[in-house]
């Protein structure tokens, strides 16, 4: 199969460039990650992140034929050749397909991604009814791969001010959790022209999420809650 991969070593190259690879696939190669690992056997200078190869760790997110996705869950048979692979857009390149996720995780941490509850803990655990637990479906499955936030034009322009779809999905995950008692503080924190309201509902985020999640829906629910507070 033919691949065209963006290469860039900031210490050695003046700008990114494409390198072409023509590789013989093995009988067990099914996914793009298999191909990239094979390419590394002929060129071990190619840098990329990966770990679980099961769509769980979120580390091999990249831009594949113009669309963000996970290499390990992208089938080779579905890809048009040459397969053009670039790092996730909008974040600084550390090297080749590895981007600096500092800003992405800074936004994630800014929404306090943990339960806040000052009430004395019960003897065993804070229980939820099945219905309360169901509220978290479509939210807790996020693997923080950053496919969504790095496909979002609003995040490209304001990564330091706009929380981005991944962080906002997580913000709603804690707002929606019956065990969390900081809903008002969380809404106060997001009631800001940049942190939440930079989302213009373009829905790139929904289009690329490899877990089939819907950050736009979560963002809409936060906006509705803010509106309900005003009314």
68 Cβ neighbours under 8 A, 6+ residues apart: 61, 62, 88, 89, 147, 148, 150, 151, 208
Both structure tokens of 105: 């995780």
CB nearer to ligand SF4: give 85 or 143.
143
Q: Which stretch binds ligand SF4 (CB under 6 A): 5-13, 43-51, 126-134, 144-152?
A: 144-152
* Binding-site size, ligand FES (CB under 6 A): 12
Instruction: Please state the closest distance from residue 55 (CB atom) to ligand FES, in A.
Output: 5
- One residue of 48, 146, 171, 176 binding ligand SF4 per CB under 6 A: 146
Instruction: Say how far apart CA 178 and CA 115 lie, in whole Å.
Output: 10
What does the H/E/C string look like for 65-81? Answer: CCEEEEHHHCEHHHCCC
Q: Which stretch binds ligand FES (CB under 6 A): 15-23, 52-60, 123-131, 182-190?
A: 52-60
- One residue of 39, 72, 166, 175 binding ligand SF4 per CB under 6 A: 166
Instruction: Report whether the peptide linkage leading into residue 145 is cis, meaning its omega lies within 30 degrees of zero.
Output: no
Instruction: Say how far apart CA 195 and CA 31 lie, in whole Å.
Output: 36
Instruction: Please state the closest distance from residue 58 (CB atom) to ligand FES, in A.
Output: 5
- One residue of 1, 37, 47, 57 binding ligand FES per CB under 6 A: 57
Whether the Cβ atoms of residue 57 and residue 122 lie closer than 8 Å to each other: no
Phi, psi of 75 (to 5 degrees): -75, 135
Answer with the entry of ligand FES, ligand SF4, none that 55 interacts with (C-beta below 5 to 8 A by kind). Answer: ligand FES
- Contacts with ligand SF4, residue ranges (CB under 6 A): 142-148, 152, 154, 165-166, 169, 199-205, 209, 211, 213, 215-216, 219
- Contacts with ligand FES, residue ranges (CB under 6 A): 50-53, 55-60, 70, 72
């Amino acid at each position: 199969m033919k691949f065209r991969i963006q290469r860039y070593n900031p210490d050695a190259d003046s700008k990114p460039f494409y390198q072409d690879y023509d590789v013989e696939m093995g009988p067990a190669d099914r996914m793009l990650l298999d191909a990239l690992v094979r390419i590394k056997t002929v060129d071990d200078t190619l840098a990329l992140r990966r770990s679980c190869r099961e769509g769980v760790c979120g580390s091999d997110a990249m831009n594949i034929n113009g669309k963000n996705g996970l290499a390990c869950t992208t089938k080779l048979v579905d890809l048009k050749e040459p397969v053009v692979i670039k790092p996730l857009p909008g974040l600084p390149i550390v090297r080749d397909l590895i981007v600096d996720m500092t800003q992405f995780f800074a936004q994630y941490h800014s929404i306090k991604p943990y339960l806040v509850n000052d009430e004395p803990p019960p003897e065993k655990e804070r229980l939820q009814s099945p219905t309360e637990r169901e509220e978290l479906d479509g939210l807790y499955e996020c693997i923080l791969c950053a496919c969504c936030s790095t496909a979002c034009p609003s995040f490209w322009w304001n990564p330091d001010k706009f929380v981005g779809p991944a962080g906002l999905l997580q913000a709603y995950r804690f707002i929606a959790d019956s065990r969390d008692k900081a809903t008002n503080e969380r809404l106060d924190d997001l009631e800001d022209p940049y942190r939440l309201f930079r989302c213009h509902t373009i829905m790139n985020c929904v289009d690329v999420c490899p877990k089939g999640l819907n950050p736009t829906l979560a963002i809409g629910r936060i906006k509705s809650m803010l509106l309900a507070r005003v009314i």
